[in-house]
C-alpha cells in the first residue's frame, strides 16, 4: 500500500489558511459585484470542463507500478462502499424530516465537495499522487450523483442521467489519464506543461468560486435551522471519523487512508444546490447547508488531516 506522506503541521496550517483567504477573496469580490453571476457561471464552467480535467490528466502522468494500480483498485472499492453506506444510512437518519428537507439532507450526507475543495486540498498538501486516488473516487461519485442523486429529486430513474454521468468531464479525464498511467506514452513537453499550468488554476479558481457562492446568503437565516447543524456534524466529523476507524480496522494505512478520510471530511457538495435548483427542490435550504459546512470545514479539515496523519 502506498506509504503515508508525513507533512509538517505548519504546512497544513499554511495551506488551509491560503485556501481560506482565497475563499474570502471570492466572497469579497462577489459582494462588491466585481465578480458578477455571469462571470462566476463562466468560471465554474471553465473549472469543471477544462482546469479540473487538466489536473486529473497530469495526475495520471507517473511511472506505472503494480502497487499504485492495486491501491487505485482499493480506492475504487472503498469509494463504492462509502457511497452505498451513506445512501442507505441517510434513509434512516433523516426520515423524521419533511420530504422537502429529507432529500437535501440525504444529498449532503452522500456527496462531499470532493472536486471543488477536495482536489485543491489534496494537491496542495500531498501532491499529484493523492489527486490520482481522488480522481478514482470522483468516478464513483459522479456515477452515484447522476443516478441515485437525481433519483432523490425526481423519484424516478432516468437513463439519461447515466449517460450524463459517463459524459462528465472528470470521468472523461480519467479515461484519458488511465492509459497514460498504464502504458506511459511519451507526452510532448509543451502539451504536458500546458495541461499542468491550466490544472494549477484549479485550486485558486475553485476556492474563489466557493467563496463567491456564500456572498448572497443572509446570515440570520443561515444560522437559524437546527437540522443544518445535524447534517454538518455528520458530514464534517462523524463520517470521516467512521471512515478512519473502519479502514484502520480493515488494515488500511498510508496515503490511501489519508486521501479517503480527507475526501470524506469535505463539506457539502455545491452540486446539491445545482440539482436542487434544476429539479425544483429547496435550493435556498441547500445553499445554507453548503455555507455552514464550508465555513466550519476550515476548522474541521485541518483537525482531520492531523488526526489521520498520526494514524497513517
Residue 173, C-beta contacts closer than 8 angstroms, at least 6 positions apart: 52, 53, 54, 56, 57, 135
> What's the confidence (pLDDT) of residue 9?
67
Q: 95-98 long-range CB contacts below 8 Å, 24 or more apart?
A: 97/227
CA torsion sign for 39, 45, 48, 53 is negative
Bridge partner residues of 220 (DSSP): none
CA-to-CA distance for 143 and 55, rounded, in angstroms?
20
Place of cell 445545482: 274
Dmax (CA) for the chain in angstroms is 57
> What's the confidence (pLDDT) of residue 243?
96
CA-to-CA distance for 230 and 30, rounded, in angstroms?
29
Identify the CA nearest to 103 among candidates 162, 161, 148. Answer: 148
Contact 182, 64 (CB under 8 A): yes
Which cell is 219 given?
446570515
The architecture in CATH of the region 9-307 reads: Up-down Bundle (1.20)
3-state secondary structure of 112: strand
Contact 181, 98 (CB under 8 A): no
pTM score: 0.83
How many helical (H) and strand (E) elements, i.e. helices and strands, does the chain have?
18, 0
**Count of CB atoms situated within 10 Å of the CB of 200:** 15
Bridge partner residues of 112 (DSSP): 268
- Report CA dihedral (175, 176, 180, 182) to the nearest 10 degrees: 10
- Report CA dihedral (312, 138, 177, 18) to the nearest 10 degrees: -60
Bridge partner residues of 268 (DSSP): 112
The domain locations on the chain are 9-307
Average pLDDT per 10 consecutive residues for the chain, totaling 312 residues: 62 78 91 92 87 90 86 95 96 93 95 86 87 90 86 73 72 90 92 94 85 75 81 96 95 92 93 81 85 88 89 72
Beta strand ranges found along 98-238 (DSSP E): none
CA-to-CA distance for 15 and 21, rounded, in angstroms?
10
Amino acid at each position: 500500500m502506498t506509504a503515508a506522506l508525513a507533512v509538517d503541521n505548519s504546512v497544513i496550517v499554511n495551506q488551509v489558511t491560503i485556501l481560506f483567504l482565497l475563499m474570502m477573496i471570492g466572497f469579497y469580490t462577489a459582494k462588491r459585484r466585481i465578480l458578477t453571476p455571469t462571470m462566476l457561471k463562466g468560471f465554474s464552467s471553465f473549472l469543471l470542463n477544462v482546469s479540473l480535467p487538466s489536473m486529473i490528466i497530469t495526475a495520471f502522468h507517473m511511472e506505472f507500478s503494480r502497487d499504485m494500480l492495486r491501491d487505485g483498485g482499493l480506492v475504487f472499492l472503498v469509494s463504492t462502499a462509502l457511497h452505498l453506506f451513506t445512501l442507505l444510512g441517510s434513509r434512516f437518519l433523516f426520515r423524521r424530516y419533511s420530504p422537502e428537507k429529507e432529500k437535501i439532507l440525504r444529498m449532503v450526507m452522500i456527496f462531499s465537495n470532493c472536486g471543488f475543495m477536495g482536489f485543491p486540498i489534496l494537491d496542495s498538501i500531498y501532491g499529484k499522487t493523492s489527486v490520482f486516488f481522488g480522481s478514482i473516487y470522483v468516478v464513483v461519485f459522479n456515477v452515484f450523483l447522476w443516478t441515485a442523486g437525481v433519483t432523490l429529486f425526481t423519484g424516478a430513474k432516468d437513463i439519461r442521467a447515466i449517460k450524463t454521468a459517463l459524459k462528465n468531464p472528470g470521468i472523461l479525464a480519467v479515461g484519458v489519464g488511465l492509459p497514460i498511467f498504464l502504458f506511459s506514452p511519451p507526452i510532448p513537453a509543451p502539451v504536458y506543461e500546458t495541461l499542468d499550468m491550466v490544472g494549477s488554476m484549479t485550486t485558486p479558481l475553485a476556492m474563489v468560486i466557493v467563496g463567491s457562492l456564500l456572498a448572497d446568503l443572509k446570515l440570520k437565516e443561515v444560522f437559524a435551522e437546527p437540522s443544518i447543524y445535524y447534517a454538518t456534524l455528520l458530514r464534517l466529523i462523524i463520517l470521516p471519523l467512521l471512515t478512519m476507524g473502519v479502514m484502520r480496522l480493515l488494515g488500511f494505512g498510508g496515503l490511501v487512508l489519508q486521501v479517503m478520510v480527507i475526501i470524506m471530511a469535505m463539506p457539502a457538495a455545491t452540486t446539491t444546490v445545482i440539482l436542487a435548483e434544476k429539479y425544483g427542490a429547496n435550493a435556498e435550504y441547500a445553499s445554507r447547508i453548503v455555507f455552514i459546512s464550508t465555513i466550519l470545514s476550515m476548522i474541521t479539515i485541518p483537525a482531520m488531516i492531523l488526526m489521520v496523519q498520526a494514524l497513517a
